[in-house]
Amino acid sequence: KTKDKEIQDMKARISSILSNKNATAAQLAEARRLIEQLKSNIEGYTETVERLEGEKIVLAGERDVARKERDSVSTVKDSLNKQVDLGSVLHASAIKLMPIRVRHNGKEVETSKAKRADMMRVTFDLDDNRIAPTGDKEIFVAITAPDGSPLAVEALGSGRFTLEDGTEKLYTAKKTVSYVTGQKQTVSMDWKQNSDFKPGDYAVEIYHNGYKIGQGKVTLKKGGLF
């Protein structure tokens, strides 16, 4: 805007001199000098504009490269964070689903007969994990009956939890485990339901952070002597 005003002022002065029929030699000389200066200024002005436009293009290119690099770094960071999250998911091993009969004296014995079973005991090891931070970990256990239906009774502590893909799943029981980084830990959970256990194959799945970390099964036979 400053350059534009300077040019307009010079043009106005030149026009004023040239329109004056009685202009003196000194005024005409001034007009010639202003015209030369105007031409020089305009050329310099144009060069400056062209240079700035070029710099603008370069800066825009550098900006786009920087944005791409930022987006790339962000993508890598997100990928690494996801890998760390996945790496911190615990893994269950040595999974056992044991039908338990509780005798009148309170002694517990394992049974293979459906009508003898008073509860299901799930035991497993949370393997050592050097990425998972020390702290409370919420573990969900989902037991499926022989007919494919989930063993879940809200009044007995069952409920729903969210899987890593955003869907919900019924769980039979859950437990908060105080986990220590890099240490294996044995976990035991009991399920006592308000109905009889049916004969057939029972499946158990164990979940942490929405991921299935282990599974097992047991077969209950029909009645008979223990």
How many CB atoms lie under 10 A from the CB of residue 64? 10
- Residue 120 CA to residue 16 CA, distance in Å, equals 107
CA atoms within 13 A on the CB side of 88: 17
Which tens digits make up the pLDDT trace of 17-33? 888 888 888 888 888 88
- Residue 88 CA to residue 105 CA, distance in Å, equals 43
Q: Which residues of the chain have pLDDT under 70?
A: 1, 73, 75-87, 223-226
Residue 203 structure tokens: 């499946």
- Residue 218 CA to residue 173 CA, distance in Å, equals 17
Residue 62 structure tokens: 């550098």
pLDDT at 78: 63
b/e string for 194-221 if b means 16 or more Cβ within 10 A?
eeebebeebbbbbbbbeebbbbbebebe
Q: Are 194 and 157 in contact (CB under 8 A)?
A: no
pLDDT at 225: 42
Give the dihedral sign, CA 122/123/128/130: positive
Q: Are 181 and 143 in contact (CB under 8 A)?
A: no
pLDDT at 82: 56
pLDDT at 76: 63
Q: Which has the closest alpha carbon to 32: 14, 50, 47, 46?
A: 14
pLDDT at 116: 87
